[in-house]
Amino acid sequence: MARFLSLLVSVVCVAACALAAPMHRRQTGDLQCNLARLQVVSSVSSAQTLLGQINSTDLSTTTAVAVAQAGISSINNAVQSILSAVLVNGTAPAASRTQLSAGLDQARSAVSSIIEPSAASIAQAAAAALLDAGKAGDVVVAGCK
């Protein structure tokens, strides 16, 4: 969680730097772009927190949580790579964007397979957070060139 908060602070710093920059379009993007990036990080963090609240002995549920957490770990690694490129005004690596998308797909698929009644509401909230992350990611892809 501390790693994710550190990443969240970094994204906010990138957004602040972009606002202070000259009025030309750069890889760091405009305010809307950076808010979308922040939404990706925030939504994934929310999903990660929610998944940590699922306490189950059901094998299929624990397996699904582990697979979702692996997807989120992949997302976190991709975000770190993208952020590193953006901070030096470089182009975000295409492989990292692909990794982020694949991690979202993996996490969403795993979370949607959780049907245990005691975990269903938490899983639905995590799925909604991952969906929000995906929508924000679409904004980033469309507008942060």
Q: Could you tell me the pTM of the whole model?
A: 0.79
User: In the chain, which stretches have pLDDT less than 50?
Assistant: 5, 8-9, 11-26
In the chain, domain spans: 2-143
Torsion of CA 22, 27, 31, 32, to 10 degrees: 150
Distances (CA, A) of 42 to 48, 77, 92, 116: 10, 15, 19, 26
Q: So what CATH class is 2-143?
A: mainly alpha
Residues 140, 37 contacting (CB under 8 angstroms): yes
- pLDDT recorded at residue 6: 52
The whole-chain average pLDDT of the chain stands at: 84
- pLDDT recorded at residue 31: 87
Radius of gyration of the chain (CA): 16
Report the 10 Å Cβ neighbour count for 40: 24
* DSSP-assigned letter for residue 88: T
Burial 55-90 (b: 16+ CB within 10 A, else e): eeebeebbebbebbbebbebbbebbebbbeebeeee
